[in-house]
Structure 1
Amino acid sequence: MSSTQRGQNTIVEKGAKIGENCTLGHNVVIHSDVIIEDNVTVGDNTVLGKGPFRANTSATTSIEALPALVIGRDSTIGASCVIYKGVAMGEKCFVGDLATIREKTRIGDRTIVGKGATVENGTEVGKRVKIETGAYVTAFSTIEDYCFIAPEVTFTNDNYLGRTEERKKHFKGPTLKRGARIGANATLLPGVVIGEDTVVAAGSVVTKDLEPRKIYAGIPARYIREVPKEQLIEEQEYFDNRE
């Protein structure tokens, strides 16, 4: 940690491990059992390794022992972010200002979580994913590699809207298969599966599973046409099936 720069009023609790060539902004709080690898930048007023609190009526948050928060090398964490204990973040990730990532979430290499976005607990996010400004990813969702989630997209996981004990048996967020793209302000209902390389148009509401490599739009979302070949993920210059 000798080569790491620390801003004013930064707190690093006993047990935290910080690699070489890191930069910590002002008023940063790093809780114990946080592991920050080399060449990581953390913006002002960010909290790393926070434990979850639980409301009396919460059905998706549990208080339990959690592993350390791990932030992979060469990552950047913006200002006023909160990243919880039990998150595993890969290398070369970027987290925008004011974003929140909850416990028991995994983030793959080179993934972007945009400004003000929220990724709730128990979510799996692959590599090279883009979650843009203000998007909401609910608990127990799955986002595979190379997916794109536009601003203000909303994932949901509770078909019972908070009523009955039966709902607790069925919590499930959406699943996005590799290369799926979701347009701005779209809403995905609980448990839906978006096929590989599928596109959901802006403002759509997805109520059922969608087939791969097709474009859907509307409320509810309906088939429009096939995704053009030049837009498929394997046609993109940054795609690397060897990764």
Structure 2
Amino acid sequence: MPNTQKETNVIIEDGAKVGENCTFGHNVVIHKCVIIGNDVTIGDNSVLGKEPFAASTSATTSIGELGPLSIGNGTTIGASCVIYKGAALGEKCFVGDLATIREKTRIGDRTIVGKGATVENGTEVGKRVKIETGAYVTAFSTIEDYCFIAPEVTFTNDNYLGRTEERKKHFKGPTLKRGARIGANATLLPGVVIGEDAVVAAGSVVTKDLEPRKIYAGIPARYIREVPKEQLIEEQEYFDNRE
């Protein structure tokens, strides 16, 4: 750990691997089977590599062998975050204070997970995604590159609302195609597919698949109009199709 700065009461278990030029705040816990790249910052009271616990009635958490938690170069993790064993974060990600990222989740380069957001297990998140404050991404969701998820958005994955054994065969979170954008407080029902560059207005409830490059609003969400050309992802200065 050359040039790594540690504050008081930092615990790094045997077996953890830490790169160069990292900074750890007070009371950070790094469990074994954690791999941290170079130039990583971890805020006070955060826990990396936590083993998942399963409630006796849990239908989406399976306790089994997990690989290491990996944190890419240049990533910043805020205070009081919990990131589970078996997750993977790419390079130059940002995780806000109080966020939780569960096991078997993959997060691409330069993605932001906002303050207090939760990304549940088995979720795939692409590069340059923004998941804002307080958003809830349920287990088994897919979020492709360049998507935007506003504060307090809720993903769901269980059409049976916890009843019957049949539900266990059908768990599936929403899928957001590249560049899709979801407004504040919207709710996405299980398994819906939001088309590439589609927009869901604030407060909407999405009950069925949405077509690409269209704007939807309401309960249930209905077509409003086309997305303006200047808002499409390929028109943005930060978009790079070569990545």
1:195 alignment counterpart: 195
2:17 alignment counterpart: 17
Structure 2: distance between partners of 1:66 and 1:171 = 21
Structure 2: distance between partners of 1:82 and 1:151 = 19
Give the letter for the 1:206 counterpart: V
Give the letter for the 1:49 counterpart: G
SS at match of 1:215: strand
After TM superposition, the score normalised by the length of structure 2 is 1.00
2:239 alignment counterpart: 239
Counterpart mapping for 1:12-161 below 5 A? 12-161=12-161
Query: 1:168 Cα deviation (Å)?
Result: 0.1
Count of residue pairs the alignment pairs up: 243
2:175 alignment counterpart: 175
Q: List 4+ stretches of structure 1 deviating above 4 A.
A: none
After TM superposition, the score normalised by the length of structure 1 is 1.00
Counterpart mapping for 1:207-218 below 5 A? 207-218=207-218
SS at match of 2:38: coil
The percentage of counterpart residues that share the same residue type is 87
Query: 1:45 Cα deviation (Å)?
Result: 0.0
SS at match of 2:230: helix
Query: 1:2 Cα deviation (Å)?
Result: 2.5
SS at match of 1:168: helix
Structure 1: distance between partners of 2:235 and 2:31 = 43
1:227 aligns with 2:212: no
SS at match of 2:225: strand
Structure 2: distance between partners of 1:87 and 1:52 = 11
Query: 1:57 Cα deviation (Å)?
Result: 0.1
SS at match of 1:103: coil
Structure 2: distance between partners of 1:2 and 1:214 = 50
Structure 1 residue runs without a partner (length 5+): none
Offset from partner CA, 1:7-30 (integer Å, 9 cap, x none): 100100000000000000000000
Give the letter for the 1:216 counterpart: Y
Structure 2: distance between partners of 1:134 and 1:164 = 30
Structure 2 residue runs without a partner (length 5+): none
Query: 1:203 Cα deviation (Å)?
Result: 0.0
SS at match of 2:166: helix
Offset from partner CA, 1:68-95 (integer Å, 9 cap, x none): 0000000000000000000111000000
Structure 2: distance between partners of 1:96 and 1:203 = 23
Structure 1: distance between partners of 2:15 and 2:172 = 35
Give the letter for the 1:226 counterpart: E
Structure 1: distance between partners of 2:144 and 2:7 = 36
Q: CA RMSD in A?
A: 0.3
Give the letter for the 1:119 counterpart: V
SS at match of 1:202: coil
Structure 1: distance between partners of 2:54 and 2:137 = 19
1:184 aligns with 2:175: no
Query: 1:224 Cα deviation (Å)?
Result: 0.1
